[in-house]
Amino acid sequence: MAGQEDRQLREGYVRALERALEAAPARNGVVSIRDLWLETALPLDLIEEILRDDGVRLPPHVVRVDVKREGKKGKHGRK
């Protein structure tokens, strides 16, 4: 039973990521993992794992997802 529940959860996560990919801004065909996180509120590690392992379909305007996690520095060099 737990295996089926896990599978259903993963399928829901895949659908959520596919919807987020449709809505997330693509810069030169690249979507940031942080934008997917903002759209879904899923943990970054989980998003990366699902993208790698579960065959998420990318919409036509997305070439790839950038999984780098460095934050942008603020005005004074702080994150």
In a domain, 54, yes or no: yes
- Could you list the pLDDT tens digit for every one of the 79 residues in the chain? 578 888 899 999 999 999 999 999 999 999 999 999 999 999 999 999 999 997 899 999 999 999 987 655 555 555 5
Range of the domain at 19: 2-66
In a domain, 75, yes or no: no
In a domain, 78, yes or no: no
**Strand 30-32 to 64-66 pairing:** parallel
Helices 2-23, 44-53: inter-axial angle, 10-degree rounding: 100
In a domain, 10, yes or no: yes
∠ at Cα 4 (64, 7), nearest 5°?
5
